[in-house]
Amino acid sequence: MCHEAVRRTAASDSEKKQRLSPDGLKPIEELQLCRKELTRQRGVLSNLVQHELRPALMAEGISILDHNDLRESQKKKLDLYFSRFVQPILSPLAVDIGHPFPFISSLSLNLAITVHRADLNQPLFIRLKVPTNRPRWVKVAEAGFVPLEQLMEANLEQLFPQSTKIECHLFRVIRGAKDDPWDLYPDKNHEESEYEPGGLIDMVSGELTARRFAGVVRLQVSQGMPDDLKFWICRQLEADEEDIHEIEGLLSLTDLARFNSEGRADLQYPPHIPVVHPRLRNHDTEDPDSFFAEIRKGDLLLHHPYHDYETSIVRFLKSAMRDPKVLALKLTIYRTSSSSPIIRTLTEAAKAGKQVVVLVEITARFDEAPNIAWGEQLEKAGAHVVYGVKRLKTHVKLGLVVREEKDRLRRYVHLSTGNYHTGTARLYEDLGILTCNPELGEGVSEVFNELSSALPAENYGPLLVAPHNLRQRFMELIRNETDNAKNGKPSGIRAKMNQLQDPQLIHELYQASQAGVPILLNVRGLCCLRARVHGLSPTIQVFSTLGRFLEHGRIYRFENGGDPLFFIGSADWMRRNLDKRMETITPVLDADVKQELEEILSIYEADNCTAWDLFEDGHYERREPDIDEAKYCAQETFIRLASEL
C-alpha cells in the first residue's frame, strides 16, 4: 500500500500536489513519510529473505545459492548453459557520445556494467537487461538454484573478452502510475460536448503509453554500488536522489513466486479441488432449465474457492447462452482471465442472437489493455459493450439473465464480491448469491440501465449503490446500532472486508463503540481505525485472516435489535468505494443464506492460527492455540466442511 502511495503521489497532477491531507500535510511531505516507511519495510523484507527464508530453504535442501559459492565443476556446467541458452538473446547497450542512455522499463532487472579496456581512454558504461523469457532461478544439479543475474555477471568475460577489468552491479527502476485517467481532465465542469463520444478508450490508451514512459519514483541498486555510479544513473533517469534505495540481497522478490519446488509436496499445501455445490450436483448439463429450476427453489450461497466456479458461475452463464428461453444476458467485467471461458460464452450468446450487454471496465488498473481487447471482441460478436461511467470506476460484480417463462419474464441474478475471473476464483476467497428474487432482480436491472444509459435511476430497490445511497445507508445502519445500545436493545456490528479507511465511517464506528456497541471486524489489509483504545474504541476488535487463499469476500452484519441484517457485495469501507466508484451491496433476504453467513463469520472469528489481532498501538500479533487447544484454521475448516456436504 505504501509502495502504491509513492507511485501515485509522485505521478499526480500539479493541482493534486497542492492539496492538503486530512492531517494537514502537503503531498511532498506525505511522499517523504512514504519514502521513510517504504525504506523501513524494504529493510524488514530483505532481512527476512536473507536471514530467514534462504536458511530455511537450505535446511530443506532447496538452496538459493550465490555463484561464488559453487564448485568449479558446477560453474562449468552453468557456463555451458549460459553460452547456449542465455548469451544469444542478450543485447548489451553502451552509453557514450553515440549511444544515449537507454530506456529502462519499470520493474525490469538490469546489470550496470563498467568495462575497462586498454584501447579506451575511459571506462565504458554498458546496460545489460536480465531477460524475462529465461528462468530467474537457474538449476544447479543436486545443489539448488542460482539467480540468473549472478550467472550473467560471472560470464561477462564471454561478452567482453578483451577487457582488463569489469565491474558489475544490479539495479531496477519503478515508474509512477496515475490512479485514474480522468486526472488528465481535472476540470469536472467541462461541457459534455467537449469530450469525444467514446473518448474514454482513447484516454485510457493514452495513459497506457504515458505509464510506460512515466517518471522514475524509485531507483533500487544492489548493495555496494559506488556512489558516483548510482548518482550518475539517477541523473540519467532524471530521478530524485532521495529515491535511491540500496538493497541488501536479492532484487525483484516477486520472482520468488516462480520458484520451482517440484517434487517437494511436503513443503506445499495439499492439492485443493473445489467441490460442486450440493444443490448443483444433480444438474443436467444438457438441460439448461434444470439450472434455473434449482435457483427457483431458493437462493444459493456460493463460497469460492471451496465451491467450484466452473460448475456454478460458468455453468450459470453457459446455461443462459444455450437456453432458447433466455432473451438477455448482462454482465460486468472488471478483471477476467487471459483465456476466459466467460468471454467465450458471452461471445457465443451474442452470436446466437441474444441481447448481450457487457460493462467492461477499462480503467481497472493494470488490466486496461486486455479489457479493451475483450470489449472489441465482444462488439464484433454483436454484444453491446459499455466501457465505463464518466469519472467513476465500475467495480460492481453483477450478472443478470432475463428468461421467458409462461406468461412472464423472470430475472435471475448473480450478486458477487469477486470478479468474473476463473483464475483468481481458485486463489481468492469470495462470496456470491444466485437468486431470482423479484426485488433484487429489479434493482440489478436498474443498475445495468444506469451503466448503459449513463443516467442514474430513481430507485434501486433494496440494493445499496455507490456513489448514490451506499454511504448514507451504511451510516444509518451503524447509527441504528448506536441508538439500540443507548436504549438497552441488542446491538452489534460484525463485518469482513478488504480495507477500512473511510474517515466518516470510522468516526461512526467510534461513536458506536463509545455507546457500548460490540464491534468485531475482519479486515484483511489496510485498516486506519484504532482498535481497543480506552475512551475511543473500547469495544472494537479488529483481526486479519492471512492464509492459503486471499480473503476477498465482504460481509456486513448488523444486530438490528435482535433481527440481524446481512449484506454482501463489492465495496469495502473506503472513500473510493463509497464516493468514486460504482459499487453494489445487496441485502441478504433468504433465511438459509443468512444462517450460512452467520456460520462463516463465526468460523473466521474462531481461527486460532492464521488470524492476526490488531492492538491499540497499531501492531498485529498472530493468534496461537493454547497448549491444550487444537489448531483451528478457518480456511482448512471451509475446505473440510465443503467436502463433507
pLDDT per residue over 500-519, tens digit each? Answer: 999 999 999 999 999 999 99
> Both 423 and 522 in a single domain?
no
Residue 321 has pLDDT above 90, yes or no: yes
* CATH number of the domain bearing residue 292: 3.30.870.10
Average pLDDT over residues 59-65: 88
Extract the C-alpha cell encoding 455.
443516467
523 and 497 in contact (C-beta within 8 Å)?
yes
Rounded distance between C-alpha atoms, residue 346 and residue 385, angstroms: 11
600 and 557 in a single domain? The answer is yes
Q: Which three cell numbers stand for residue 301?
A: 450461497
Binning pLDDT at 50, 70 and 90, where does residue 312 land? very high
Nearest to 545 by CA among 589, 586, 604: 604
- In the predicted structure, residue 242 carries a pLDDT above the cut 70: yes
Residues 78 and 212 in one domain: yes
Does position 367 have pLDDT exceeding 70, yes or no? no
Q: Are residues 539 and 453 in the same domain?
A: no
Residue 485 CB-density burial (10 A; 0-12 exposed, 13-18 middle, 19+ buried): buried
CA distance 41 to 122: 39
Domain C-terminal end among 416, 444, 462: 462
Mean pLDDT, residues 347-362 taken together: 92
* CB count in 10 Å sphere of residue 309: 24
Relative to beta strand 611-614, strand 581-587 is: unpaired
| Res. 196 pLDDT band, cuts 50 70 90 | low
Residue with cell 536458511: 55
**Which grid coordinates belong to 171?**
539495479
How is residue 588 written as a grid cell?
A: 441478504
Q: What is the mean pLDDT of the chain?
A: 90
Query: Do 604 and 474 belong to one domain?
Result: yes
Contact 331, 358 (CB under 8 A): yes
Going from the C-alpha of 179 to that of each of 154, 242, 363, 447, the distances in angstroms are: 40, 23, 9, 24
* Within-domain flag for 211: yes
Cell numbers describing residue 432: 456470491
In a domain, 261, yes or no: no
Are residue 33 and residue 64 in the same domain, yes or no? yes
Tell me how far apart the alpha carbons of residues 56 and 60 are, in angstroms, rounded to a whole number. Answer: 7
Same domain, 407 and 495: no
Check whether residue 75 and residue 217 sit in a common domain. Answer: yes
Domain boundary among 462, 495, 515: 462
Range of the domain at 485: 466-644
Q: Are the beta carbons of 11 and 178 closer than 8 angstroms?
A: yes
Evaluate whether residue 259 is within a structural domain.
no
| Secondary structure in 3-state letters for 249-303 | CCCCHHHHHHCCCCCCHHHCCCCCCCECCHHHCCCCCCCHHHHHHHHHCCCEEEE
In a domain, 427, yes or no: yes
Q: What percentage of the chain carries pLDDT values higher than 70?
A: 91
Give residue 200's pLDDT band: very low, low, confident or very high (50, 70, 90): low
Q: Which three cell numbers stand for residue 434?
A: 444466485
Say if residue 603 is in the same domain as residue 552.
yes
Domain boundary among 413, 430, 462: 462
- pLDDT of 474 strictly over 80: yes
Q: C-alpha cell of 273?
A: 479441488
Whether residue 34 lies inside any domain: the answer is: yes
Does any domain span residue 634?
yes
Mean predicted confidence (pLDDT) in 270-289: 90
pLDDT in tens, 581-617: 999 999 999 999 999 999 999 999 999 999 999 999 9
CATH number at residue 243: 3.30.1840.10
The residues annotated with a catalytic role in the active site are 395
> Of the given ranges (40-49, 184-193, 239-248, 479-488), which has the lowest mean pLDDT?
184-193
Examine the domain organization and report whether 443 and 334 are in the same domain: yes
Task: Indicate whether 627 belongs to any domain.
Answer: yes
Rounded to the nearest 5 percent, the helix, strand and coil shares of the chain are: 40, 25, 40
**Is the pLDDT score of 371 beyond 90?**
no
Q: Does the pLDDT of residue 336 top 70, yes or no?
A: yes
Same domain (yes/no): 497, 565: yes
- 239 within a domain of the structure (yes/no): yes
> 624 pLDDT exceeds 50?
yes
* CB 174, CB 218: distance < 8 Å: yes
Position 454 confidence tier, pLDDT thresholds 50, 70, 90: confident
Nearest CA to 364 out of 339, 340, 317, 332 is that of 332
Domain count, the chain: 3
CA distances, 469 to each of 400, 482, 577 (Å): 21, 20, 12
Same domain, 243 and 326: no
